């Protein structure tokens, strides 16, 4: 049987049959007494309202707001002046107050209101372990029974001492009460809905809750319990996911003693920038407004941005000097220099012996001077190599040539002549910047490729579908010279740009890197200013970073006081 979607236009909202959408049923009811029409129309209206409320409850994901909505709708259905919503504690030994409302006293506590509830929870068991059936809300939570009381001042079996004390203090008169368990789809009681003082719409007096009120609230409480359980389940799964992600991130940081905390700091700075960008009303980012889901998506991407490092060899991640592999090979080179010193000493002694035997006419003072000069040269060359091994911002070509010259010197080891430095040692010592060779740098850079591959394999829900994109873009540059994909300006999302800025600033200021000390605030900001001009980072985003003094907010929390100095306020502008 097909029914109309809406009542005919000639049916007014005051008509008893207004809520009847089925035209055939409505026509049949036209000849029934008006009282029957009103009753059936009222029932249809209630069913319709319950359906709407059920849909609204299912859609709401903010738990405090959801709980508040449940109590308000229950009060609306029964025209109750007040009500309390209790939720079961995790150990199921007590119930905490979640929402408290009383219209006539203008009381709004818990939920989205600014007033928190600091009342003691309702204990379900007494100190001796016996069930607490004296408190009506506890009794309902323990038994699952519905309690409908016409007048709380005229009832036996329950203790309303607290209610009377409240009335004496406020001048209120508590009377009718309806207490209903909130039972979810797994037949668990997760809370209790307590309504107070049903109000007659005509006399405005408190009246008992009717049987129809009771049945309606039982249905509502059941829907509410399922909605709360689903919301909690979704929230718990989200928390589990984020906690798992943070555990992985911490494990990656712990893989290297020199990068501990890097991922966490980048994630915190990324969110700091994103939340600031969300609140500005100037510049090209004024229109960007990320919602809660988008912020969460970015937060997860930030925590996962270095997950690919789990595949990076530790000797590369931890390479604190140019010659480091399993150990620092500078120590092997020092041994060779000791051989040079030994050879110089032997040469001196042999020369002296020849003089003593009259086999040499050279002045006896000359061998000593030559020896001292030789030892000085050996020690200077070793000191130079030790310094070169540390790495730094830039190694001049002349210094690289000196490394080559030193390396060509000959020594004899195990009666075999060899160069003082091997080809690989010379190659590493001549690294112009930092401590990594080109090959090792490619290995490090490959962590981004692995990050993207790993993250793209995960079955994300729709709201997290861009996690891999954001996490994999933190080494890209606006001019297209970044890696791994060489993405250009129009291919980079605002979120990826934010992460790139955060990652670079953290790397410049970090004081736990083995190959460099953390830069001062002014040094880091000056370098980033040049990067913004070269479009290696987003210039507009950097302007916000400077104007809103996000660098200082970060520095005060994560940088050593000795690194914090004055920054040019016009940098990057």
Helices marked H in 171-210: none
Which pLDDT score, from 0 to 100, does residue 10 have?
A: 44
Query: Pseudo-torsion of CA 503, 507, 509, 512, nearest 10°?
Result: 130
pTM equals: 0.66
Q: How far apart are CA 437 and CA 114, in angstroms?
A: 58
Q: How many helices, marked H, and strands, marked E, lie in the chain?
A: 19, 10
Residues in the chain: 573
Which pLDDT score, from 0 to 100, does residue 4 have?
A: 43
- List the chain pLDDT tens, one digit each, 573 residues: 334 444 444 444 455 545 556 666 556 555 666 655 554 555 555 555 655 665 566 666 677 888 888 899 899 889 999 999 999 998 999 999 999 999 999 999 998 898 999 999 999 999 999 999 999 999 999 999 999 999 999 999 999 999 999 999 999 999 999 999 999 888 899 999 999 999 998 899 999 999 988 988 998 888 888 888 888 887 888 888 888 888 888 887 777 666 668 889 999 999 999 999 999 999 999 999 999 999 999 999 999 999 888 888 877 877 878 888 878 899 999 999 998 899 888 888 888 787 777 665 555 556 788 888 999 999 999 999 999 998 777 889 999 999 999 999 988 877 788 899 999 999 999 998 888 888 888 888 888 999 999 999 988 888 899 999 999 999 999 999 998 999 989 999 999 999 999 999 998 998 766 556 788 999 999 999 999 999 999 999 999 999 999 999 999 999 999 999 999 888 867
Q: How far apart are CA 258 and CA 510, in angstroms?
A: 10
Which pLDDT score, from 0 to 100, does residue 5 have?
A: 43
Q: How far apart are CA 279 and CA 544, in angstroms?
A: 11
Q: How far apart are CA 461 and CA 112, in angstroms?
A: 28
The 10 Å Cβ neighbour count of residue 225 is 24
- Which of 157, 305, 164, 166 has its CA nearest to residue 245? 305
Q: Is 563 helix (H, G, I), strand (E, B) or coil?
A: helix
Which secondary-structure segment (H or E) carries 178? strand 177-183
Architecture of domain 258-311+456-563: Orthogonal Bundle (1.10)
What residue spans define the domains of the chain?
1-59, 61-233, 258-311+456-563, 330-435
Q: How far apart are CA 170 and CA 102, in angstroms?
A: 12
Q: Is 488 helix (H, G, I), strand (E, B) or coil?
A: strand
Which pLDDT score, from 0 to 100, does residue 348 have?
A: 84
Q: How far apart are CA 297 and CA 458, in angstroms?
A: 14
Q: How far apart are CA 405 and CA 104, in angstroms?
A: 93
- CATH 1.10.3720.10 given to domain 61-233: no
Which secondary-structure segment (H or E) carries 387? helix 365-390
Q: How far is CA 362 from CA 219, 344, 356, 488, in A?
A: 115, 18, 11, 73
Q: Mind spelling out the 3-state secondary structure of 90-141?
A: CCCCEEEEEEEEECCCCEEEECCCCCCCCCCCEECECCCCCECCCCHHHHHH
Q: How far apart are CA 533 and CA 527, in angstroms?
A: 10
């Amino acid at each position: 049987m097909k029914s109309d979607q809406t009542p005919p236009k000639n049916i007014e909202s005051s008509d008893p049959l207004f809520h009847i959408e089925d035209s055939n049923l409505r026509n049949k009811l036209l000849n029934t007494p008006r009282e029957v029409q009103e009753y059936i129309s009222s029932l249809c209206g209630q069913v319709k309202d319950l359906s709407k409320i059920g849909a609204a409850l299912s859609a709401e994901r903010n738990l405090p707001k959801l709980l508040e909505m449940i109590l308000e709708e229950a009060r609306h259905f029964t025209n109750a002046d007040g009500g309390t919503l209790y939720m079961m504690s995790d150990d199921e030994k007590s119930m905490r107050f979640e929402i408290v409302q009383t219209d006539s006293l203008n009381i709004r506590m818990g939920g989205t209101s600014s007033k928190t509830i600091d009342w003691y929870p309702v204990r379900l068991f007494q100190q001796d372990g016996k069930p607490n059936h004296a408190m009506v809300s506890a009794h309902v939570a323990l038994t699952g029974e519905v309690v409908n009381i016409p007048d709380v001042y005229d009832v036996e079996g329950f203790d309303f001492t607290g209610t009377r004390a409240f009335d004496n203090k406020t001048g209120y008169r508590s009377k009718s009460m309806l207490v209903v368990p909130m039972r979810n789809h797994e037949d668990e009681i997760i809370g209790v809905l307590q309504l107070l003082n049903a109000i007659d719409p005509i006399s405005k007096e408190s009246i008992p809750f009717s049987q129809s009120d009771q049945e309606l609230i039982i249905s509502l409480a059941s829907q509410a319990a399922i909605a709360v359980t689903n919301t909690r389940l979704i929230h718990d799964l989200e928390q589990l996911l984020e906690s798992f992600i943070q555990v992985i991130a911490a494990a990656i940081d712990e893989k290297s003693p020199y990068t501990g905390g890097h991922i966490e700091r980048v994630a915190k700075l990324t969110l700091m920038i994103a939340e600031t960008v969300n609140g500005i009303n100037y510049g090209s980012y004024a229109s960007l407004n990320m919602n809660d889901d988008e912020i969460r998506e970015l937060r997860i991407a930030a925590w996962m941005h270095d997950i690919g490092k789990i595949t990076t060899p530790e000797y590369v991640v931890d390479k604190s000097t140019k010659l480091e592999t399993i150990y620092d090979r500078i120590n092997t080179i020092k041994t060779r220099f000791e051989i040079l010193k030994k050879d110089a000493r032997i040469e001196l002694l042999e020369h002296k012996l020849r003089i003593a035997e009259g086999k040499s006419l050279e002045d006896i003072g000359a061998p000593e001077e030559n020896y001292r000069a030789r030892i000085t040269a050996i020690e200077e060359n070793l000191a130079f190599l030790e310094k070169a091994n540390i790495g730094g911002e830039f190694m001049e070509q002349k210094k690289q040539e000196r490394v080559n010259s030193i390396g060509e010197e000959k020594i004899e080891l195990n009666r075999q002549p060899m160069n003082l430095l091997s080809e690989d040692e010379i190659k590493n010592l001549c690294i112009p910047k930092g401590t990594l060779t080109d090959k090792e740098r490619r290995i490090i850079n490959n962590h981004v490729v692995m990050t993207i591959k790993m993250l793209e394999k995960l079955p994300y829900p729709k709201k997290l579908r861009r996690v891999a994109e954001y996490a994999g873009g933190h080494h890209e540059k606006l001019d297209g010279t970044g890696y791994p994909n060489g993405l250009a300006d129009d291919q980079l999302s605002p979120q990826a740009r934010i992460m790139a800025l955060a990652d670079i600033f953290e790397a410049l200021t970090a004081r736990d890197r083995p190959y460099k000390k953390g830069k001062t605030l002014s040094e880091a900001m000056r370098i980033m200013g040049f990067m913004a001009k070269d479009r290696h980072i987003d210039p507009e985003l950097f302007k916000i970073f400077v104007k809103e003094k996000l660098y200082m907010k970060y520095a005060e929390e994560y940088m050593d006081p000795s690194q914090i100095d004055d920054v040019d306020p016009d940098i990057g502008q």
